[in-house]
Structure 1
Amino acid sequence: MPDQRDPAPYDALLLLSFGGPEGPDDVVPFLENVTRGRGIPGERLKEVGQHYFLFGGVSPINDQNRALLDALRKDFAEHGLDLPVHWGNRNWAPYLTDTLREMVQDGHRRIAVLATSAYASYSGCRQYRENLADALATLEAEGLELPRVDKLRHYFNHPGFVRPMIEGVLESLADLPEEVRAGARLAFTTHSIPTSAADTSGPAEEHGEGGAYVRQHLEVARLIADAVRDETGIEHPWELVYQSRSGAPHIPWLEPDICDHLEEQHAAGAPAVAMVPIGFVSDHMEVLYDLDTEATAKAAELGLPVRRVSTVGADPRFAAAVRDLVLERAATERGVHAERCALGALGPSHDLCPVGCCPARAPKPAAAGADSPYA
């Protein structure tokens, strides 16, 4: 059917990501961008920057986004989808505003936006929408014609996001020594956020303890654990745990931390643990440092065998999932019924973030939502 390949009304896709330094001289300026307005002293930024300096001052996220861009363009071309793909970051070059300006100057007027965050939360959704609003305000001040930007829905339970992780768990379990494989635990990891931010994530009517952020991660963890059981015949105990906490000690954040969890599992007699970073699209710095460096060192100290499962990255199935998301949203915008792929009980997420969804710490305009000033 022609509609299956019709991206109209969209004339471009924008890959919107976090960004990262690409050399030692970039590290502190990058961290200043990330923490702007929070009053964090320079010495603290240099301390945090040591994570990057361990890897030559280069974050892997930019190369991973380049790989995803290539995968998207390849998938689109192979399936007859004529839609150019551009890339902009929140915190480092190529900056979102610069990319959006170039897209407007190239004549793009209706842009679908894929954020490299699969779940609902302030930092994973609304903050990207605020960044879009800031960029549009800059273009408006420059006298440019503003495009319409539509953020694609959350894709945490899309089969193209979940299936690669299922296979990653199976591969990691198979890589464990045979004598510990059957008893291995699964530790599903995601970014810790303040409990107040978690509790108010998702639409207002769904707010509650942990909000949509925790609920969505628990659903993905269950989907993966159930699939592993069905395909191996072995029930691996699992838990959702957290990493990468960066807040003040007196502010409650989601717990347990992955390193604390490894200690608890070792004390309880667990023979091995597979760490599954379901909260991340790619193997960026927080995965490399918090899991591959810090958590792996803790496991070695304990004598606990661990394996770390890969993120989806530029997996062709994820690229195909993005194509699905673009085409279903395009069909919806044209008033045509579209099948919306989603695994599990939560179903497909909303297209348009409602008022009160993942509220900001301080009110700021946010694009691509029901409260957008740029409808």
Structure 2
Amino acid sequence: MESRLKVTIKDVAREAGCGIATASRVLNNSGPASAEVRERVETAARDLGFSFSAIGRALQGGRSMTIGCLVPSLANPVFAEAVQGVQDALSGSGYQLLIASSNYDGDADNEAIATLAAKEVDGLIVTMVAPERSATLKQARRRGLPVSLMFHDPIDGFLTAHVDNFQAAREVARRFADLGHRHTAFLSLRFSSSDRSRNRYAGFHAECRARDLPDPALIELGEAEANTPELLAEILASLGELTAIFASNDFLAIAVQKAARLMGKSVPHDLSVIGFDGIEIGRLLDAPLATIETAPNAIGRQAAQTLLEMMQGKACMQRPPLPFDFRAGATLARPRTESCDDDQGATWPPSVHSLKTDLKQG
């Protein structure tokens, strides 16, 4: 069998009728060249099937040409879409993506960052439990590793691609209030370890206060309650006059609908539900989910673009939050009974409602 000859940059330069240094500048986009020379070099490279060795380019420039990307989960379509956005933004840049997930575990976050840094990645794109408290992430930055965050609200010392969770949650409260809901709750799976959830509750709470409504109940679930409709139904039943729930993500909002059916309640006539993220499956339900719709792909693209600029030595500033929309769906309606004159009762709302221990013992 005839052996295949390797095409070198010397061959490209000869074909283009220029020097090797000129061909290298054009193909590396690392220096000036006339439009006519650039076209000759690019045509010669394309005709000869020339491509730079990624290993050689990395060794020459002291770079690995890889970027580490850490997300909590790839099973959640929100993060999967964001990773796709990162990949789209890196297309044509020469960088390859190394992906890690932590299952929402802070220790796993730190281990993943340490592993990616040990692989000499040129930068990090990160969504994690608590970047502001991660010693491993701060150590990587001290070593000069550029870091771009996704989904996190702005944190001192880090640039992030995000939506304004606080303002988005205020919009949810406005939707509930305009329909006459007074007894509301915020449902979260990882409230204590998620800055996104905490900021969503803060915005929801602030708008309820601004409208002289009772403070929303804060319901922090464990994994068992979130994944077991019977347990979730028991928690919701204990809240009495609750007529509306804001779930911190769409998966929880879908779980609430199942739990409501087990309670014999109708969504939205007995219980209105709004989620957050706008995942596509929410549109496909018998009662399409009302939710705050974000653009995870755009978040990933922006995070990657910011990182590329940082790695190029450009001065980067925090960009404004990306837009969100409210998707009306079919899980939001006026409460069946709007007479809520018993707000003087001292039992509403619980400031934090968690039945994890009671349920496990019972």
Q: TM-score, normalised by structure 1?
A: 0.40
Q: TM-score, normalised by structure 2?
A: 0.41
Larger relative CO (CA 8 A, sep 6+): 1 or 2? 1
Q: Which one has the largest radius of gyration?
A: 2
